[in-house]
Every structure is written in C-alpha cells, then in structure tokens.
Chain A
Amino acid sequence: MQNPKRSTLGWFWQAVTGALLLLLLGVHFIAHHFIAAGGLRDFNQVIAYLGNPIIIALELAFLVAVTIHAMLGARSILFDLGLSAQWERRVTRGLTVVGVITVLYGIWLIYAILGANSAVAFWAR
C-alpha cells in the first residue's frame, strides 16, 4: 500500500511541475508551432534558435519539468494497478532511473545538435 506521506509529496511535485509546464509548454508550443514559419523550424532556424542561451535554459527547464511530471504520472497510474509495497518501491526506483536517463539524453541531444552544426559549418568552409 502507498505511503500517504510519499503520496502527498508526489502530488505536490506533480502540481508544482504541472504549473511550471503550463508556462514552459506554452512557450515551447508557441515558439515551435505558432511562431516558426510553416509550423516547424528548418535546420538553420533550429540552430539560430538554440544559439540563444536563454532558450537553451528554457528548453532544459522544460525537459526536467516534463520528465518529473511524466514519471510521477506514470508512477501514479502504475500504483492504480494495486501493487504491493515492494513493487511500488521497485516502480519508483525504475521510473527514477528512466527519468534521469531521459534528462541526460535531452542534454546530450542539444550538445549533439549544436555539434552537428559545427560539423556542417566546418565542411562548408
């Protein structure tokens, strides 16, 4: 059975990241789908967009918030299956690992995209 204290803490962080996401997802969706011509940026536009450190910080904050929110949500749905305390702990640990890997992948992705641009610029010289 779920620990009530942990459950409340999970709900609190779900609400906090949810509130953050209203703002960050709004910025992300509007910037990518409503402002970009044709609804999506081409490669050069993506590089120009990521050239702004504030944008990178916002995108990383978005990634962290959405991952925490998603993992807590997945945990809550899985707990609805009526798991034993032992399995609840395993699910929590498993989702924590998945969440950390997701954030690390996102950080690597930004680094790799900017790296791909350097390679393109190098060969274009």
Chain B
Amino acid sequence: MKLSLPENQKLRFLRWFDFRSWRVGMLAYILNRVTAIGLVVYLYLHLVVLSILTGGPTQWDPFVALARSPFFLALDVILLAGILIHGLNGVRVTLTGVGVGVGAQKTLFAALMLVGAVLLLAGAWKIFMG
C-alpha cells in the first residue's frame, strides 16, 4: 500500500528535527510532541506493570521493593518532568487556542515552564526524601 505524502506535508514532520527552526514556539511544539510520545509509551508500560498485581502479594510486593530503589525513583522524577512539561504546555496551547494570551505566548511559555521547574524540584524532593 502506498502512503501519499505531498512534499509540503512531508516537511511538517521533518521540521521537528531542523535545529534552525527551534525558536521558542517551535521548541514548545517539539517539547509537547516528544513528551506526548514518552507519556503514551509510559501509559502502556504502566498498564503492563500493573498486571503484576493480579498475581497477588507474592508477586507485587517484591516489585514494590524494587520500585523504591533510587534508580526507579529517578525514573519517577523524569516521569514527573514529562507530565509537568506536557501539562503546562497544554495549558498554554488551550489558552491561546481560545484566544487568551495569544500576543504573549513566549512569556506565557516561559512563566509556565518556570512554574513547572519549581513543581519538579518540590516533587523530586518529595519523591526522594519522602
């Protein structure tokens, strides 16, 4: 089967990898897409991991002990970073989509990423320090 890819539309996807177009708007767009792909992969990994629960405590509890190790906690911090970047960027996209802050998109993006950085630091502290 043949995929029809008109030249002008092919470029739309390839622009993700063109560093010359990485201005704030494009960076926000790429971050949103990259975190989206990561979160979808995580969603299915999460659902597969949760299936261990069907084996009862003999299977789940040893996994929990492993998941409390620093390596897995670091993965939790990466997950939180992905959620915050994607979620806050999504807030910006929705706001500008309904006409709020259209003229201040870059400022809005910077402010939301700053909020995200603060929440990430607080979350990482909570994840590692309990």
A residues near B (Cβ < 8 Å) are: 11, 15, 18-19, 21-22, 25, 29, 33-34, 37-44, 46, 66-67, 70, 73-74, 77, 80-84, 86-87, 102, 105-106, 109, 112-113, 115-117, 119-120
Q: Does B99 sit at the interface, judged by CB under 8 A? A: no
Number of A-B contacts (CB under 8 A): 108
B residues near A (Cβ < 8 Å) are: 3-6, 8-10, 12-13, 33, 36-37, 39-40, 43-44, 47, 50-51, 53-57, 60-61, 64, 67-68, 73, 76, 80, 83, 87, 90-91, 93-94, 97, 123, 126-127, 130
- Chain B at the A interface: SS class: helix
| Complex CA distance for A113 and B37, rounded to whole angstroms | 28
Q: Is the CB of B40 within 8 A of A73?
A: yes
A43 to B: closest C-beta gap in Å: 4
| Complex CA distance for A42 and B56, rounded to whole angstroms | 10
Q: Is the CB of A109 within 8 A of B50?
A: yes
| Complex CA distance for A80 and B40, rounded to whole angstroms | 17
Question: Residue on B with the closest CB to A15?
Answer: B94
